[in-house]
């Protein structure tokens, strides 16, 4: 069969891809890479980087003629759905409707939709059955419930066979910290790294945890069953408390302190789903106990992150080099047409072998200038606001850009960030870059990278593909650096603050000095008066005034704030804001940083 898997590079999708391939089917993956990782899937397949709400999906479906579609692409975080209901609806409703439309038009035999236990809403009873009244309380649950309705209607109106699985709390290898099973991965990471655990409530609250390979087995059986359609719970019908979860993981590695905090408003205390129907109709049963599943998951977490736990610089660089070999191979294949020399490829890869996020951002300018053969590259930092702030840009003559961009005034760039897709300036609008694409980490855009004014003869599909490949490479390096920051947090930061320790702050400062020399990227240092002040409390106050590329750190017992891409006028504005919080700050230069060393 031809099998299209949306979200195929994600946690569940990658396991689904492997299972169907092993059973002899041809795999086609649609993923926009906002949360999925290409490295999750190693079996032969064809990949299409696009969002599920993209209308071009229809053309793709027509070229593939899929027999089965497994729709797993979704926004999976309940909190995000509450804070950004529009984004949740775009992914979980508009995306589904588009996939349903494409499936109907190309005569797909069956579509499987990933729904959720969130459709039920708060119930005091457990072992919930499919025929119970649903009362979802979050946009995520509402949209999953509405998605089931769309699937049912497409079956009634167009004869498209649809099967909706209401997943309980899925967990397993490759899982991120968001979504309904995220508590497992959060605990795994913290125990692995020797950190304390935070439990909201008394730990007696229960969930119905199901191992990812049991989920995949049910999906595979459902795809091969002509009769089974409609809505089914997919669960173990077994309660496991948070305390039991900690006890089992603790048997794999000693746990640190467990902090029991106040319960969060709206949290359901007990939860499980009845699985009688799915066991009967698909001749399926979960085979992984919670003990077995957690053991397999913990083994993956420890093995997956083992290379970057090495504390030596060379050990970390070897990890980065190993992970970059796939990118290097892909670049070399591309170089046949793009005429990129092996020497240039080596230089490009070396430029991104860093474990410091700030250094990768700065290096991305030279990497893209080298690959794209242009001296006009920009990188803007992305945050939750409507404004983008310049992080770094090329130092080309007559290449002037605003320090901030208001997204609401540039809908094309806003769409590129939200969709994770490449923007191509086909109208050659002088106010927009020629090419732009976001760099994402854990599903959120952290930067917008752009190419400005390349030679007109270079603008073609190959040039666009090279830019996308470059963005993937930079994003991969940045992701590894962020992960390394996580596992070295104790050494990197002072206590539990956002204050960099002297060695790491010195590292960031040298990167900014280099950026000023190479790209004329301004920065300002502020000496923070910490006399008779609690550093933790002071750092928390200052953090609210930090931008994405700013850094707070210690140098010779001085608390110093590094303002990236700032001049003295902008620094004066920051000083004024800090003074309103009772914080005294003064501008200093690098030479003044070490004055205290000679007076101690």
* 391 shares a domain with 266: no
Burial of residue 384, with CB atoms counted within 10 A of its CB: 0-12 exposed, 13-18 middle, 19 or more buried: exposed
* 253 shares a domain with 229: yes
Give the mean pLDDT of the chain.
86
For the domain that residue 220 is a member of, what is the CATH number? 3.40.50.720
Is 21 among the residues known to form the active site?
A: no
CB of 382 closer than 8 Å to CB of 448: yes
Residue 133 located in a structural domain: yes
371-404 residue pLDDT tens: 888 899 999 999 888 999 999 999 988 899 999 9
CB atoms < 10 A from the CB of 247, how many?
A: 12
CA quadruple 177, 355, 550, 412: dihedral sign: negative
Identify the CA nearest to 76 among candidates 189, 178, 166: 178
How far is residue 442's CA from residue 483's CA, in Å, rounded to a whole number?
10
The secondary structure element, H or E, covering residue 211 is strand 209-211
Considering the candidates 9, 120, 140, 319, report the single residue annotated as catalytic: 140
* 565 shares a domain with 529: yes
Q: Are strands 404-406 and 206-207 parallel, antiparallel or unpaired?
A: unpaired
Q: If you count DSSP H runs as helices and E runs as strands, how many of each does the chain have, helices first?
A: 21, 24
How far is residue 335's CA from residue 79's CA, in Å, rounded to a whole number?
43
Q: Are strands 377-381 and 169-171 parallel, antiparallel or unpaired?
A: unpaired
* 150 shares a domain with 221: yes
Residue 7 located in a structural domain: yes
For the domain that residue 384 is a member of, what is the CATH number? 3.30.450.40
The secondary structure element, H or E, covering residue 564 is strand 558-564
Residuewise pLDDT in 10s, the chain (600 residues): 999 999 999 999 999 999 999 999 999 999 988 888 888 999 999 999 999 999 999 999 999 999 999 999 988 777 777 778 877 788 789 999 999 999 999 999 999 999 999 999 888 888 999 999 999 988 899 999 999 999 999 999 999 999 999 999 999 999 876 555 578 988 988 888 888 899 989 999 999 999 999 999 999 999 999 999 999 999 999 999 999 999 999 888 888 889 999 887 667 788 899 999 999 999 999 999 999 999 999 988 887 655 444 443 444 444 444 445 545 555 554 444 444 444 555 556 566 777 788 888 998 898 888 888 889 999 999 988 899 999 999 998 889 999 999 999 999 999 999 888 899 998 888 889 999 999 988 778 899 999 998 776 677 777 888 888 888 888 878 877 887 777 677 788 887 788 998 888 988 999 999 899 988 999 999 999 988 888 888 888 888 777 878 999 998 788 999 999 889 999 999 999 999 989 999 999 877 765 544 333
Q: How far is CA 150 from the centre of its chain?
A: 28
Q: How many domains in the chain?
A: 3
* 388 shares a domain with 289: no
- Go through the chain and tell me how many residues it has: 600
Instruction: Please tell me whether residue 302 adopts helix, strand or coil conformation.
Output: helix
Q: Residue 33, by phi and psi: left (phi above 0), alpha (psi -120 to 50) or beta?
A: left
The per-residue pLDDT for 173 is 93
CB atoms < 10 A from the CB of 153, how many?
A: 13
* 317 shares a domain with 296: no
Last residue of a domain, one of 443, 460, 490: 490
How far is residue 290's CA from residue 468's CA, in Å, rounded to a whole number?
40
* 318 shares a domain with 207: no
* 272 shares a domain with 403: no
274-304 residue pLDDT tens: 999 999 999 999 999 999 999 999 988 887 6
pTM over 0.75: no
Question: Structural domain of residue 287, as residue ranges?
Answer: 2-305
List of residues 6+ apart from 159 with CB closer than 8 A: none
How far is residue 563's CA from residue 524's CA, in Å, rounded to a whole number?
5
């Amino acid at each position: 069969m031809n099998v299209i898997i949306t979200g195929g590079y994600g946690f569940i999708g990658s396991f689904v891809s492997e299972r169907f391939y092993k059973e002899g089917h041809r795999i086609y993956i649609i993923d926009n890479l906002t949360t999925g990782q290409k490295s999750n899937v190693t079996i032969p397949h064809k990949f299409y980087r696009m969002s599920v709400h993209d209308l071009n999906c229809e053309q793709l479906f027509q070229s593939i003629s899929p027999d089965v579609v497994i729709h797993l692409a979704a926004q999976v975080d309940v909190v995000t759905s509450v804070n950004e209901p529009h984004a949740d609806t775009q992914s979980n409703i508009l995306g589904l409707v588009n996939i349903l439309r494409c499936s109907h038009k190309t005569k797909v035999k069956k579509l499987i939709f990933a729904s959720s236990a969130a459709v039920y809403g708060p119930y005091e009873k457990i072992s919930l059955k499919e025929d119970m009244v649903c009362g979802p309380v979050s946009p995520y649950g509402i949209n999953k419930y509405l998605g089931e309705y769309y699937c049912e209607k497409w079956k009634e109106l167009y004869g498209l066979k649809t099967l909706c699985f209401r997943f309980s709390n899925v967990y397993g290898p490759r899982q991120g910290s968001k979504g309904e099973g995220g508590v497992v991965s959060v605990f795994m990471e913290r125990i692995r790294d020797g950190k304390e655990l935070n439990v909201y409530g008394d730990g007696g609250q229960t969930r119905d945890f199901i191992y990812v390979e049991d989920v995949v087995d049910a999906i595979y059986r459902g795809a091969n069953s002509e009769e089974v359609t409609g809505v089914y719970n997919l669960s173990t019908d077994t309660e496991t408390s948070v305390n039991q979860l900690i006890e089992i993981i603790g048997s794999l590695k000693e746990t640190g302190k467990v902090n029991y905090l106040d319960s969060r408003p709206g949290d359901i205390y007990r939860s499980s789903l009845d699985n009688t129907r799915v066991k009967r109709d698909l001749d399926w049963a979960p085979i992984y106990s919670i003990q077995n599943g957690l053991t397999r998951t913990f083994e993956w977490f420890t093995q997956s992150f083992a290379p970057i736990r090495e504390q030596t610089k060379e050990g970390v660089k070897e990890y980065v080099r190993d992970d970059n070999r796939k990118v290097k191979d892909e670049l070399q294949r591309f170089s046949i047409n793009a005429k990129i020399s092996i020497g240039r490829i080596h230089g490009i890869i070396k430029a991104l072998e860093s474990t410091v996020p700030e250094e990768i951002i700065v290096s991305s300018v030279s990497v893209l200038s080298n690959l794209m053969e242009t001296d006009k590259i920009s990188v803007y930092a992305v945050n939750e606001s409507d404004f983008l702030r310049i992080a770094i840009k090329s130092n080309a003559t007559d290449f002037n850009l605003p320090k901030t961009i208001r997204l609401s005034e540039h809908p094309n760039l806003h769409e590129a960030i939200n969709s994770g897709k490449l923007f191509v300036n086909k109208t050659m609008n002088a106010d927009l870059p020629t090419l732009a694409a976001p760099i994402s980490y854990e599903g959120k855009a952290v930067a917008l990278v752009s190419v400005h004014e390349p030679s007109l003869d270079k603008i073609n599909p190959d040039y666009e593909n090279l830019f996308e490949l470059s963005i993937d490479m930079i994003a991969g390096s940045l992701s590894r650096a962020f992960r390394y920051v996580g596992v070295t947090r104790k050494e990197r930061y002072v206590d539990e603050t956002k204050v960099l320790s002297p060695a790491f702050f010195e590292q960031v400062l040298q990167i900014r000095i280099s950026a000023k020399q190479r790209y004329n990227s301004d920065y300002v240092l502020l000496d923070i008066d910490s006399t008779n002040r609690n550093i933790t409390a002071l750092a928390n106050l200052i953090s609210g005034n930090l931008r994405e590329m700013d850094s707070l750190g210690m140098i010779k017992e001085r608390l110093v704030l590094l303002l990236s891409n700032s001049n003295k006028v902008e620094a004066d504005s920051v000083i004024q804001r800090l003074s309103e919080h009772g914080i005294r700050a003064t501008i200093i230069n690098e030479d003044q940083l070490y004055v205290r060393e000679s007076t101690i």
